[in-house]
Amino acid sequence: MIDITLPLTDIHRHLDGNIRAQTILDLGRQFNIALPAQTLETLIPHVPVTSTDPDLVSFLTKLDWGGKVLASLDACRRVA
């Protein structure tokens, strides 16, 4: 039987899609990765996935920035 009083949880999260914009900026600088912007304010439009993203390619492009900065085990530890 399912207990409907239990809180719901999101059990499917990808590490690369859950990185703060500031962390992407920091790690991009640390690993000399070319990002679409050089400041937090100008990077923010390129990172969060929104319900208004026009298509799958736009959605996946935003996820790419998170994956690119996971360039070392320490970077993965920082994000996790």
pLDDT tens track for 7-57: 887 776 788 888 999 999 999 999 999 999 999 999 999 998 877 878 889
Confidence of residue 6 (pLDDT cuts 50, 70, 90): confident
pTM, two decimals, is: 0.78
In this structure, is residue 30 part of a structural domain? Answer: yes
* CA 32, 34, 37, 40 torsion-angle sign: negative
Number of domains in the chain: 1
Q: Supply the range of the domain harboring residue 27.
A: 19-79
Q: Is the pLDDT of residue 80 over 90?
A: no
In this structure, is residue 73 part of a structural domain? Answer: yes
Cβ count within 10 A of residue 66:
21
